[in-house]
Amino acid sequence: MSQFGDYMAELLATKPSQDITPFLSQYSIYLYISVIVVLVVVVYACKKVQLIPHGFWAGGFEHMMDWLRRDVGYNVIGPDADRHMPFLMTIFVFILTSNLIGLIPGVHGATGTIGVTLALAIISFIYFNYYGVKAQGKRYILSFAPKGVAFPMNVLVWVIELFSCFLRLITLAIRLFGNMYAGHLALGAFAILTSVFFMPLAQGLTLAAVGGALPGILWFLFLVLMYFMELLMACIQAYVFTMLSSVYIQLAAYNEE
Amino acid sequence: MGVIGYGLGVIGAGIGIGLAAHGAALGIARQPEMQSRLFTIFILGAAFSEALALIGLVLALIQ
Domain boundaries, chain B: 2-62
Size of interface A-B (CB pairs under 8 A): 42
* Confidence at residue A20, expressed as pLDDT on a 0 to 100 scale: 66
Q: Looking at the partner chain, which of B36, B40, B51 has a beta carbon nearest the beta carbon of A175? A: B51
Residue A158 maps to a domain: no
* Confidence at residue A119, expressed as pLDDT on a 0 to 100 scale: 93
Q: Which domain holds residue A38?
A: 17-126+167-253
Residue A200 vs residues A4, A203, A214: alpha-carbon distances, Å: 14, 5, 11
Q: CA A1 to CA A76: how far, in whole Å?
A: 50
| B58 inside 8 A of chain A by CB | yes
Residue A175 maps to a domain: yes
CA A151 to chain centre: 40
Residue A23 maps to a domain: yes
Residue type, A195: S
Q: Sign of torsion, CA A1 A188 A232 B29?
A: positive
Digits of tens for pLDDT over chain A (257 positions)? 567 777 777 777 766 655 666 677 788 888 889 999 989 888 887 776 677 777 777 888 888 888 888 888 888 888 888 888 989 999 999 999 999 998 888 788 888 888 889 999 999 999 999 998 888 888 888 777 777 777 788 888 888 888 888 888 988 898 898 888 888 888 888 888 888 888 777 777 777 777 777 888 888 898 999 899 899 889 989 999 999 999 889 888 887 65
Residue A200 maps to a domain: yes
Residue A7 maps to a domain: no
Residue A25: strand, helix, or coil: coil
Q: CA B28 to CA B33: how far, in whole Å?
A: 8
Q: CB atoms < 10 A from the CB of A205, how many?
A: 9
Domain spanning B2-62 has what CATH number?
1.20.20.10
* Confidence at residue A19, expressed as pLDDT on a 0 to 100 scale: 64
Residue A113 maps to a domain: yes
Residue A246 maps to a domain: yes
Q: CA A26 to CA A193: how far, in whole Å?
A: 25
Q: CA A150 to CA B25: how far, in whole Å?
A: 37
Q: CA A80 to CA A38: how far, in whole Å?
A: 26
Please report how many Cα atoms fall inside a 13 Å half-sphere around the Cα of residue A188, on the Cβ side. 19
Please list the alpha-helical segments (H only) found in A103-150: 114-136
pTM higher than 0.80:
yes
Residue A2 maps to a domain: no
Would you call A240 and B43 a contact, using CB atoms and an 8 Å cutoff? Answer: yes
Positions in chain B whose pLDDT score sits under 70:
62-63
* Confidence at residue A1, expressed as pLDDT on a 0 to 100 scale: 57
Domain count of the fold of chain A: 1
Q: CA A227 to CA A212: how far, in whole Å?
A: 24
| B34 inside 8 A of chain A by CB | no
| A3 inside 8 A of chain B by CB | no
Looking at residue A123, the DSSP 8-state letter turns out to be H
CB of A27 within 8 A of CB of A113?
yes
The residue of B6, B43, B50, B54 whose CB has the most chain A CBs within 10 angstroms, and thus the best one to mutate to test that interface, is B54
Q: CA B51 to CA A134: how far, in whole Å?
A: 29
